[in-house]
Structures are given as structure tokens and as C-alpha cells.
Amino acid sequence: MQFAVLSENEYNDYMTTQRCFISQTVSYGRVRAAEGYRVEYVGVRNNAGNICGAGLVMYQPWKKIFTRASLAYGPTLDWSRSEVVSAFFSGLNRHFASQPRLLTARINPILARRWYTDITPLKDNPVAGAVSQALERDGWRHLPYEFGERSDIQLRWIYTKTISGMNFEEAKATLAKGLRRRFNNENRYGVQTRFLGPEDFDVFAQLYASTRDRTDGMPALSASAVRFYRDLMADMGPERALLAVAYVSPRRYLDQIAIERAEVHERIEVLRGRKETKARERELEQAAQRLEVLDGQEEMARETLTERGDAEIPFNAALGFRVGSELILLLGGMDKTLSAYARDYPVERAMFKYACDESLDTYNTFGISGDFSEDAADANILAFKRWLNGQVEEFVGTYEKTFAPRFLARALGAETR
């Protein structure tokens, strides 16, 4: 086997047959290169010339004249084939060692450490154990940190739902009752969901900022991050970059309420024309209760109309990317003052339906903390994700190797300690 620097097309041809996350796509590489970063595609070929492992390397400038290398959520290999793993890392080590200004390198591959049903561990992955031992023998140190403990550590835990071969109705039937009931409804409460393009990314950025203002530890979306995501959306195109935004119109909601109220009154008149029975009285009581609910909803809609005006108001959004046969939900945002209009989870429904309609295999809600206790910081988020009746995926984590003299890497703060 032979290690080599690959062309963008060679790399892309291989990666289209593999599972990968956004940071290992050529779109990511092109956008980062346009920002001024050095990006390389590396891989290993077998004797027939076929690529059997690859990774996108991004070089981060460090202290002006040095660099650090990162394969975020990479490399992508058949980890069960020890000869492929050995050839790739032997070549990668030589490639990095030949660069005198490179201080350290990091990897965090999509290699399962353990398999789960929902949040229940099933068994450890023996391949992960063997690979971890091989990496550590080769000088790669496992970093004992989780996402959230350090800002430069990638997620190790995600929550996904397998939807292979299911249309929307079939997939919906596998959801927990609470989520299934909400997904049965669309466009209630004066809400409509739209897919927007990169030119409207500021709508998402404002909703993300609103969420961050009330969430401890949530990172800011800097101006450079906004440019990056906008450029990434443009490169991937509308068929692979999805920005779903839910809008509420108080006027539309009032019209819906008026229509339903008229229908309830019409039903009451029909019931009053029938002879008295327990069933009739029960239905009349339910109709009266429904009118009370509609009165409350009308009051809320009129308050929103007074405060926000007769407009389409964005209040909930999600940013996702289609990578291979997987939809990855990366970021979300919510105007908490309008959260009552999100009772049917319109954005999540739109994304889930898209994944089913496009015959994708995996609906990936992405990051969780890995803490499954009721006291976890993301306990409410995990509880919602579990309504999907999916599964946790736990990866092996982040490894780092120092290529410069260790005293220099430490003195320059490039080595993680």
C-alpha cells in the first residue's frame, strides 16, 4: 500500500462511498482554503491503485511561523483492516514529520467505541480497542477531555435515528407517542416553515443569538463563523445545505382560530338538535371546553399582533447538512418569547420529513454530552432526542501526536496537557 496526497476529485470520489461528517467533505475544504487555511487531502492506495482510506487535513497557523494539523472527525478508514490502518498512519506520520514547522496533529475519527440501543450500552467495539492500542504505541495520546470541557475538543457523543427504507408516515410511526402526535400536525398556530438560502443566514444568526443569551456555556456565533456557514451553504447548494426556519403570522393564526370557532359553533347547533343522551352532553361539554381554549389562543395571538405587528415573524430555526445518506442537524435557534408557537416542533418536523422524503438512511441530531443522568446539563435536550427512539453513538475521542521537539511544542502551547 502507498500513502499519497490526493487530488480533490480523487478524495471526493472515495468519500462519496463512505460515512463522514461535514469537516471531512470537499466543500468544507474549499471554504476553509478560501479563508486562507492550508488544506490537504491524503490517503492510502492498495496495489491496484484503489483508495482504501483518506482524510482531510487542515493546518492551523500557530504563533505566526508554526502550524498544527487537524483531521476533524477523520480519517476515514476500514478500521477492521489492520494493514490499511498501519499503512495510513505510517504514511501520515512520515508526511507530518517532513514538515519542520508542524508542532502537533490531532485526529478524532468516526470509530464507534461502544454500541447502544437508545442510551443503553450493548457492547464494546473490539476494533476500537485494538486501534486505540495501536495509536498509543505509535505515539498518539488520547486526550481525556470532552466537548464542553475544552473549546478545542470535538464531540464524542451523538444521537441518531435510523430511517433506512422508510417513508415519512412509516418513520413517524416509530417515534414516541408525544413526538408522533405533534408531527401529525402541520401549520397549526399560524406557523409555516420554509427552507432558506445562504443569503438569509442572518435570520438564523439572530435566533441562535437569542438562544445563546439564555444558555450557559453555549458558544457565540462570531462574524467569521457566520461567513463560514454562509459560504459552506453556498458551496454545498440547496440540495445539501438546509436552513429551516419557522415563521408565525398572528393574523394567519387569528384566521385559523376564527375558522375553527365557527366549526365548533356549527357542531354545537347540530348537537342541540338531537335528543339528550350522555354522549351528546359529553360532546357539548368538550365543545365548550374547546371554545375556552380558542379564546385563550386568540388572546395570545392578539398580544403577539400588538407587540410584533402584522408580519411573518421568524422564531425557530435549524441548520443541517446532507452528507452522503445522512442528514446532520448542526445548529439550532429559538426566540424563547414565541416558544408557545413551537408546540408541534415545526422545524424538526420539516427536517425529519425531508430526510424521509429523500430516502436517507440516518437522521443525525448530532451532539449530546454523554451524561445520561437527570442532572445533566443537556438532560432536557436528550429527553427530546430520545422521542425519536434512536440510539447513542459513542466514538473513541480525540488523539494528539507531537511532531516537533516536545519542549518546543509545550513552550509554544501547542501540545495539550
Among 8-12, 213-217, 318-322, 355-359, the minimum mean pLDDT is found in 213-217
> Is residue 49 within 8 Å of 10, Cβ to Cβ?
no
DSSP run (H or E) holding 67? strand 66-71
Q: Is 88 exposed, middle or buried (0-12, 13-18, 19+ CB in 10 A)?
A: buried
With beta carbons less than 8 A apart as the criterion, state whether 295 and 331 touch: no
pLDDT range class, residue 223, cuts 50, 70, 90: very high
Q: Which residues pair with 321 in a beta bridge?
A: 241, 328
Q: How many CA atoms lie within 13 A of 49 on its CB side?
A: 1
pLDDT value, residue 213 = 65
Average pLDDT, the chain: 95
> Span 113-119, mean pLDDT?
97
What is the per-residue pLDDT across 126-142, written as a single tens digit (0 to 9) for each? 999 999 999 999 999 99
pLDDT band at 408 (very low <50, low <70, confident <90, very high): confident
Q: In terms of DSSP bridges, do strands 102-107 and 66-71 run parallel, antiparallel, or are they unpaired?
A: parallel
Average pLDDT on 138-161 reads 93
What is the rounded average pLDDT of the residues 110-126?
97
Task: Find all residues with CB under 8 Å of 181, minimum gap 6, and list them.
Answer: none
Q: Is the dihedral of CA 175, 176, 181, 187 positive or negative?
A: negative
Please report which confidence band the pLDDT of residue 216 belongs to, taking 50, 70 and 90 as the band edges: low
Residue range 154-161: mean pLDDT, rounded: 97
Q: What is the pLDDT of residues 66-91, one digit of tens each?
A: 999 999 999 999 999 999 999 999 99
Determine how many CB atoms are found less than 10 A away from the CB of residue 313.
19
Model confidence over 288-328: pLDDT tens digits?
999 999 999 999 999 999 999 999 999 999 999 999 999 99
Confidence label for 148 from pLDDT (cuts 50, 70 and 90): confident
Q: State the amino acid at position 12 in one-letter form.
A: N
Taking phi first (over 0 means left), then psi (-120 to 50 degrees means alpha), and beta for anything else, what does residue 359 get?
Answer: left
